[in-house]
């Protein structure tokens, strides 16, 4: 009897922290609306053994866009801001840039004129910022920039421009056996430099756009050098293709914020069994930004129609998010 009592006491003491953790709200930055409820309903049914919608842990794959979904993307994708700073740093070694667009305008401080060349101009800037160095040198440069650079509007480090509700969502999914991936148009090596520390997503679960790489010997040691050519743009149709190539398994949940994520959500939704698709809708001009159908950055137009037609969850920043950034009062 005494043994039983002691064992019972020990068990209660051992279980208490787990029970407490389970009861604590895993999504405190979310308001209690439909969006939050749809997330909790989905996770509960797929992770609960014995549920008719149970999904084995190995198949609980969740994919997240990055720019505009996990962190902000205004006034310009942060990686372009990095690339612009990098071009300025490298300018003394490239006297030819003085007469060559988009570099000439950029170096004169006229970002708008530099970007008049559209996607091509953006790519030229990004490639110039990346080419020639080894992957390890590049990682060090990105980390250094992230430690020092400040967002032009908030004056905060860029890694503080991440969304609290989405950080909680990543943790909540992982606590329920999900493997969380980033599948983003951003450069894969740029994102890997901070994804593990900031999002808890290790490098091998970060999928992104990439430039060509070259394996070569430098001073008798093998290095991998970044080349000036684009290899793959991880956007639109590129997203489901990258998912197939890198993961080889269809996600059961996907999260995006723009038309560039639509094919990823379609691919996710079209699988058999329970599926979850969510669009983050930028509706809060006060705390973040408000933009959708007509924005040049992160346009959400077709996606908004398809979400309505298919019954996907649309999380309105203004209504569904109690807190957007950690630094908010």
Helix (H) or strand (E) holding 224: strand 221-232
Q: What is the nearest approach in angstroms of a copy of itself to the Cβ of residue 279?
A: 17
Query: Which of 31, 154, 266, 316: binder of a copy of itself (CB under 8 A)?
Result: 266
Q: Is residue 174 a contact point for a copy of itself (CB under 8 A)?
A: no
Q: Is residue 188 a contact point for a copy of itself (CB under 8 A)?
A: yes
Nearer to a copy of itself, 126 or 188 (CB): 188
Cis peptide before 75 (omega within 30 of 0): yes
CA distances from 142 to 87, 274, 317 (A): 13, 39, 29
Q: What is the nearest approach in angstroms of a copy of itself to the Cβ of residue 88?
A: 27
Report the phi/psi class of residue 16: left, alpha or beta, with left for phi > 0 and alpha for psi in -120 to 50.
alpha
Residue span 55-84 as binding mask against a copy of itself, x where in contact by CB under 8 A, dash where not: ---x--x-----------------------
SS3 state at 149:
coil
Q: Is residue 263 a contact point for a copy of itself (CB under 8 A)?
A: yes
Q: Is residue 270 a contact point for a copy of itself (CB under 8 A)?
A: yes
Q: Is residue 111 a contact point for a copy of itself (CB under 8 A)?
A: no
Tokens of 158: 């860029």
Strands (E), 21-178: 61-64
Q: Which stretch binds a copy of itself (CB under 8 A): 23-31, 99-107, 261-269, 275-283?
A: 261-269
Q: Tell me the residue length of the chain.
A: 329
Q: What is the nearest approach in angstroms of a copy of itself to the Cβ of residue 222?
A: 5
Nearer to a copy of itself, 118 or 202 (CB): 202
Q: Is residue 31 a contact point for a copy of itself (CB under 8 A)?
A: no
Q: CA-CA distance, 14 to 44, in Å (whole number)?
A: 24
Q: Is residue 148 a contact point for a copy of itself (CB under 8 A)?
A: no
Nearer to a copy of itself, 36 or 192 (CB): 192
CB 125 within 8 A of CB 87: yes
What is the DSSP track for 102-123?
THHHHHTT-HHHHGGGHHHHHH
Give the total of residues touching a copy of itself (CB under 8 A). Answer: 37
Helix (H) or strand (E) holding 217: strand 206-218
Burial of 286: CB neighbours in 10 Å, binned 0-12, 13-18, 19+: exposed
Q: Is residue 245 a contact point for a copy of itself (CB under 8 A)?
A: yes
Burial of 99: CB neighbours in 10 Å, binned 0-12, 13-18, 19+: exposed
Cis peptide before 248 (omega within 30 of 0): no
Q: Which stretch binds a copy of itself (CB under 8 A): 21-29, 77-85, 233-241, 310-318?
A: 233-241
Residue of 172, 201, 144, 186 whose CA lies nearest to 27:
172
Q: What is the nearest approach in angstroms of a copy of itself to the Cβ of residue 215?
A: 4
Q: Is residue 192 a contact point for a copy of itself (CB under 8 A)?
A: yes
Q: Is residue 301 a contact point for a copy of itself (CB under 8 A)?
A: no
Nearer to a copy of itself, 18 or 58 (CB): 58
Tokens of 57: 């842990």
Q: Residues in the site for a copy of itself, rule: CB under 8 A?
A: 2-3, 6-7, 10, 58, 61, 135, 179, 188-189, 192, 196, 202-204, 206, 210, 213-215, 221-222, 224, 237, 240-241, 244-249, 263, 266-267, 270
């Amino acid at each position: 009897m005494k043994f039983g009592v002691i064992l019972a006491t020990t068990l209660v003491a051992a279980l208490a922290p787990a029970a407490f953790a389970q009861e604590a709200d895993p999504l405190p930055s979310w308001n209690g609306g439909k969006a939050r409820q749809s997330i909790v309903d989905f996770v509960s049914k797929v992770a609960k053994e014995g549920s008719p919608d149970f999904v084995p842990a190995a198949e609980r794959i969740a994919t997240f866009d990055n720019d505009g979904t996990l962190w902000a993307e205004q006034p310009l994708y942060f990686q372009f801001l990095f690339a612009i700073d990098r071009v300025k740093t490298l300018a003394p070694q490239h006297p030819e840039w003085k007469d060559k667009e988009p570099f000439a305008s950029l170096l004169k401080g006229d970002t708008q004129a530099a970007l008049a060349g559209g996607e091509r101009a953006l790519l030229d800037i990004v490639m110039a910022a990346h080419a020639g160095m080894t992957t390890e040198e590049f990682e060090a440069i990105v980390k250094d920039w992230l430690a020092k650079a400040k967002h032009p509007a908030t004056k905060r480090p860029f890694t503080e421009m991440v969304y609290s509700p989405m950080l909680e969502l990543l943790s909540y999914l992982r606590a329920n056996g999900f493997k969380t991936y980033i599948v983003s148009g951003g450069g894969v090596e740029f994102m890997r430099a901070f994804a593990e520390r900031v999002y808890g997503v290790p490098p091998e679960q970060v999928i992104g756009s990439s430039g060509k790489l070259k394996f070569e010997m430098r001073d008798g040691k093998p290095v991998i050098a970044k080349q000036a050519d684009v290899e793959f743009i991880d956007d639109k149709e590129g997203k489901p293709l990258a998912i197939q190539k890198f993961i080889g398994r269809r996600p059961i949940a996907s999260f995006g914020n723009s038309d560039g994520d639509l094919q990823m959500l379609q691919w996710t939704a079209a699988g058999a069994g329970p599926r979850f698709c969510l669009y983050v809708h930028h509706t809060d001009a006060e705390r973040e930004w408000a933009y959708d159908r007509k924005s040049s950055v992160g346009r959400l137009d077709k996606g908004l129609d398809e979400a309505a037609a298919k019954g996907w969850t649309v999380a309105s920043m203004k209504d569904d998010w109690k807190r957007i950034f950690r630094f908010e009062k």
